[in-house]
Structure 1
Amino acid sequence: MEPLPQSALFDTRRLQLDVALQLLQQAGALLPDSEPYSAEWLQGVIDALCDLSSRDGLTGLANRRSFEMAMSREVDRVARSGEPALLLTLDIDHFKNINDTYGHMAGDQVIQAVADALKQVVRPMDSVARVGGEEFAIILPNCATAFGATVAERVRERVSELRIEVSPGQVVVVTISVGGAFAPQWVRSSSLLWMERADRQLYRAKAEGRNRACLEPQIDSLVSAEEKGMLFAVTQQEVE
């Protein structure tokens, strides 16, 4: 194949990248160390923008959009491999009181401290995200069902040990409520149904007094009507 004539090649210097580069600079992202507007440089800018768009600005954790994509990949993997995966949803207890008492800057400090604690207590293979204001979630692949309660309790305890200095001499102690559910093995499901299961346990933890971890009992981890419908739909397509 003959190369395109020079006149047919797009002049990359015509790209309007000023706003994108300013955004990356403000976020502290490292720009590629190569010739500006070269293919390598442009790829580096694109990669940096993709990483920035998938991260929460306050904590650096994955944001909700990228976390939902990770959940979809994991629930599909569990359906194919049968390996267990645990989803934990977490909520900072009485967070509104922290904002009302100490101010929103202190609230941000608390969110950042909790995020750092979550990153420290999980494995490199686990995915941690901030999915709402004071809400977090964790995907733990290859987490045996026998260890689910232990893992959830370890996360809860790590946050309860925090001593967050929000101003000179003013220390805040926070707790979290945790809900957890395992993705159904060998069954086609969805990230939405998985999240709903974990959220139900989170609501139970709050209703029982907060500062506790509640996991879906294995005996109750049955295939839902929605999941049966998805399974039968796939089976019917394979037959046809």
Structure 2
Amino acid sequence: MSSSPASATIELSKLRLDTAQALLAQDEEHALPEADSPTGYLQNLIDGLCELSLKDPLTGLANRRQFRAVLEREVDRVTRTGESALLLMLDIDHFKAVNDNHGHPAGDLVLQAVAQTLAGCVRPMDTLARYGGEEFAVVLPGCQAAFGEAVAERIRSIVESTPITIEPGLQIHVTVSIGGSFTLPWVKASIPAWIDRADHQLYRAKSEGRNRVCLDFPPDSTVSAEEKGLLFNHLPDPVTDDMDPYLSDPADSANRK
């Protein structure tokens, strides 16, 4: 009976590992740790390549592949627990002007600097990704609608106030437009639809003048005392049902005394 590929002895000398080793050698963060066996060395190499495949090479942030995987996990968590989550899409305003006026190397420095600034604005539980070009994305688990705008506005303000050195003696400031969308608790959201809603708000922020925040808030599902009364087929009592006194009939209130 022949052995399976998984149980077969691996001879490293027969594997073409030069390209894999060169890729990891270019990234100081993924220097291969010491291994006490050929199998351990190969496992370290595989782990390093997997991590490298999930990272944007310029900024060091999560790339779109990892971003998509995080969104899938977050949608499952929101569906299961009912907790809210916020997706922010951020775009550097007038980024083309940076490349045109200062060159593409300066543009790369701006992308790296903005990525570093954003990384300092998020929690360890959040996921920050480079979505593409000059666009970034942030997934914020457990972010309630009441705090979402304050969080996004803080990020926008910090980016705006942080100078970026693009060459000795020359600093510039950039701004970002931010669009965001919340998931609906207990609902299995469509990931493309979630991204589209956040993108729509980003385009809205751009069209309204840039350097601003636009969010798509979830609908308010709070049920008022009056609505509760209608649901149970009786009129609410403005005294016992905590109804808004400005909506009650003064004459009726007088008759109750």
TM-score bucket (shorter structure): 0.7 to 0.9
- Residues 129-165 of structure 1 deviation map (CA, whole Å, 9 limit, x = unaligned): 0010100000000111110000000110110011111
Range 158-167 or range 11-20, more displaced: 11-20
2:162 is the counterpart of 1:132: no
2:218 is the counterpart of 1:218: yes
- 1:90 corresponds to which residue? 90
- 2:69 corresponds to which residue? 69
Question: C-alpha separation between the residues in 2 aligned to 1:19 and 1:60?
Answer: 20
- 1:191 corresponds to which residue? 191
| Distance apart, 1:11 and its partner CA | 2.4
What is the number of equivalent residue pairs in this alignment? 216
Correspondences of 1:111-126 after superposition (within 5 Å): 111-126=111-126
**Structure with more contact order per residue of length (Cα contacts < 8 Å, sep ≥ 6):** 1
- Give the TM-score normalised by structure 2: 0.80
- 1:27 corresponds to which residue? 27
Question: C-alpha separation between the residues in 1 aligned to 2:10 and 2:164?
Answer: 53
- Residues 80-118 of structure 1 deviation map (CA, whole Å, 9 limit, x = unaligned): 111111000000000000100000000001000100011
Letter in 1 for 2:159: V
Does structure 2 conserve the Cα–Cα contact (< 8 Å) formed by 1:32 and 1:45?
A: no
Question: C-alpha separation between the residues in 1 aligned to 2:75 and 2:161?
Answer: 32
Question: C-alpha separation between the residues in 1 aligned to 2:149 and 2:76?
Answer: 23
Does structure 1 conserve the Cα–Cα contact (< 8 Å) formed by 2:205 and 2:214?
A: yes
Q: Structure 1: which 5+ residue stretches go unaligned?
A: 222-240
- 1:161 corresponds to which residue? 161
Q: Secondary structure, in 3 states, of the residue corresponding to 1:24? A: helix
Range 86-95 or range 158-167, more displaced: 158-167
Question: C-alpha separation between the residues in 2 aligned to 1:130 and 1:40?
Answer: 32
| Distance apart, 1:217 and its partner CA | 2.9
Q: Secondary structure, in 3 states, of the residue corresponding to 1:113? A: helix
Identity percentage over the alignment?
54
More helix by share: 1
Range 9-18 or range 78-87, more displaced: 9-18
| Distance apart, 1:187 and its partner CA | 1.0
Q: Secondary structure, in 3 states, of the residue corresponding to 1:131? A: strand
Does structure 2 conserve the Cα–Cα contact (< 8 Å) formed by 1:71 and 1:139?
A: yes
- Residues 169-195 of structure 1 deviation map (CA, whole Å, 9 limit, x = unaligned): 221110000001111211112221111
Does structure 2 conserve the Cα–Cα contact (< 8 Å) formed by 1:72 and 1:190?
A: no
Question: C-alpha separation between the residues in 2 aligned to 1:218 and 1:23?
Answer: 44
- 1:235 corresponds to which residue? none
Q: Secondary structure, in 3 states, of the residue corresponding to 1:9? A: coil
Q: Secondary structure, in 3 states, of the residue corresponding to 1:215? A: strand
| Compared CA separation, residues 11 and 19, structure 1 to 2 (3 A) | same
| Distance apart, 1:203 and its partner CA | 0.6
Question: C-alpha separation between the residues in 1 aligned to 2:132 and 2:195?
Answer: 14
Question: Looking at CA atoms only, which structure, 1 or 2, has the larger radius of gyration?
Answer: 2
| Distance apart, 1:220 and its partner CA | 8.6
Does structure 2 conserve the Cα–Cα contact (< 8 Å) formed by 1:84 and 1:182?
A: yes
Q: Structure 2: which 5+ residue stretches go unaligned?
A: 222-257
- 2:151 corresponds to which residue? 151
Does structure 1 conserve the Cα–Cα contact (< 8 Å) formed by 2:160 and 2:176?
A: yes
Range 87-96 or range 190-199, more displaced: 190-199
- Two-structure CA RMSD over aligned residues (Å): 1.9
Does structure 1 conserve the Cα–Cα contact (< 8 Å) formed by 2:184 and 2:218?
A: no
Runs of 4+ deviating beyond 2 Å = 8-13, 217-221
| Distance apart, 1:69 and its partner CA | 1.0
| Compared CA separation, residues 9 and 168, structure 1 to 2 (3 A) | closer
- 1:17 corresponds to which residue? 17
- Residues 198-235 of structure 1 deviation map (CA, whole Å, 9 limit, x = unaligned): 011101100110000110133399xxxxxxxxxxxxxx
